[in-house]
């Protein structure tokens, strides 16, 4: 097995330790030997939502020696309205000022905008409008299809086709989320079009795939039902060289007093599985 396979590049999303301040979170990443982090705009009582200036967050990241890979996320991005445009500009400005490389783009996930024809058109409209916003700020847009049955963008192929249709190569890439990939049941991987991989596991033996939700998402361990190791191996084998970012939403992970130990154990499990 190649050296790449046994040494994936790990990153961490702030959702793994949402009660930590950005500075504490960056130090957690540093303690784990990670150089890439993702910050979020949906954590109550925390940057970005509490109005912490981008310069302050940027300085804390620099002090810890970590790179802000993404801000997660512009929600409902494929429902393009004047309000969404304002949100996108505001978030893209913050991403630029904080030193982030990319903005994660999350689709409408409430059962609307799903009909054939409508959803593809909505997606192209949004990508076309986002392209200059991102270009002007030197940012990438990472499109994240969600596997939930009510989502307006479940298919990575559909996302790739839309990116190609709007001439978005070099500006847009995919987020491959191991949880959502499993739920969507789409076998195809698009490693060359993938900018980021989100990893989380589901270990609850009783929940059906169609009933899996964010609170089921724990750190990847030996009991994982999502085939994280297989997905990661396939991506690495096919040339993906970007980060694998821990994104667990389960309260039992988020409430850990010292998440460092648990995340480190998960990294060891994954590395052993990939060898």
pLDDT at 258: 86
H/E stretch holding 234 reads helix 228-237
Q: What is the largest CA-CA distance in the chain?
A: 50
Cα–Cα dist 35/132, whole Å: 29
Using the 8-state DSSP alphabet, how is residue 59 labeled? H
> Taking the model in full, what pTM does it have?
0.96
Phi-psi region of 201 (alpha: psi -120 to 50; beta: other; left: phi over 0): beta
C-alpha distances out from residue 145 to 100, 112, 156, 237, 254, Å:
21, 15, 6, 22, 24
What is the model's pLDDT at position 4?
44
Rounded Cα distance, 271 and 6, in Å:
6
Q: How far apart are CA 81 and CA 5, in angstroms?
A: 43
Cα distances (angstroms) measured from residue 251 to each of 16, 48, 106, 218: 9, 21, 22, 9
Structure token pair of residue 58? 């940027």
Cα-Cα end-to-end distance for the chain: 7
> Residue 184: what pLDDT?
97
Q: Minimal CA–CA distance to 144: which of 15, 247, 216, 66?
A: 247
**At 269, which helix (H) or strand (E)?**
helix 259-274
Instruction: Give Cα 270 distance to the centre of its chain.
Output: 18
Q: Are 12 and 20 in contact (CB under 8 A)?
A: no
Tokens of 197: 């991989």
**Cα–Cα nearest to 100, from 50, 145, 47:** 47
CB 160 within 8 A of CB 118: no
Per-residue pLDDT of the chain (275 residues; tens, 9 = 90+): 444 455 899 999 999 999 999 999 999 999 999 999 999 999 988 888 888 999 999 999 999 999 999 999 999 999 999 999 999 999 999 999 999 999 999 999 999 999 999 999 999 999 999 999 999 999 999 999 999 999 999 999 999 999 999 999 999 999 999 999 999 999 999 999 999 999 999 999 999 999 999 999 999 999 999 999 999 999 999 999 999 999 999 999 999 988 999 999 999 999 999 99
Predicted confidence at residue 50, as pLDDT, reads 87
Q: What is the pLDDT of residue 3?
A: 47
């Amino acid at each position: 097995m190649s050296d790449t396979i046994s040494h994936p590049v790990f990153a961490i999303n702030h959702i793994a330790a949402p009660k930590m301040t950005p500075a504490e979170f960056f130090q957690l990443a540093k303690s784990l030997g990670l150089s890439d982090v993702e910050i979020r705009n949906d954590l109550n009582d925390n940057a970005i939502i509490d109005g912490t200036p981008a310069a302050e967050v940027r300085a804390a990241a620099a002090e810890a020696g970590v790179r802000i890979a993404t801000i997660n996320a512009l929600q409902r991005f494929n429902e393009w309205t004047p309000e969404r445009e304002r949100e996108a500009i505001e978030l893209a400005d913050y991403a630029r000022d904080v030193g982030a490389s990319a903005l994660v783009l999350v689709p409408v996930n409430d059962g609307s905008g799903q009909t054939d024809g409508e959803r593809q058109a909505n997606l192209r409209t949004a990508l076309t409008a986002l392209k200059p916003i991102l270009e002007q700020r030197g940012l990438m847009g990472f499109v994240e299809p969600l596997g939930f049955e009510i989502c307006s963008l479940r298919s990575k192929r559909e996302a790739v086709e839309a990116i190609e249709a709007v001439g978005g190569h070099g500006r847009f890439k995919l987020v491959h989320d191991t949880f959502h990939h499993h739920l969507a049941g789409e076998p195809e991987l698009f490693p060359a079009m993938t900018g980021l991989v989100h990893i989380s596991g589901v270990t609850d033996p009783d929940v059906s795939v169609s009933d899996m939700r964010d609170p089921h998402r724990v750190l990847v361990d030996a009991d994982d039902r999502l085939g994280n190791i297989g997905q990661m191996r396939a991506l690495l084998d096919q040339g993906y060289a970007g980060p694998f970012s821990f994104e667990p939403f389960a309260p039992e992970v988020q409430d850990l007093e010292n998440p460092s130990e648990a995340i480190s154990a998960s990294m060891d499990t994954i590395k052993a599985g990939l060898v």
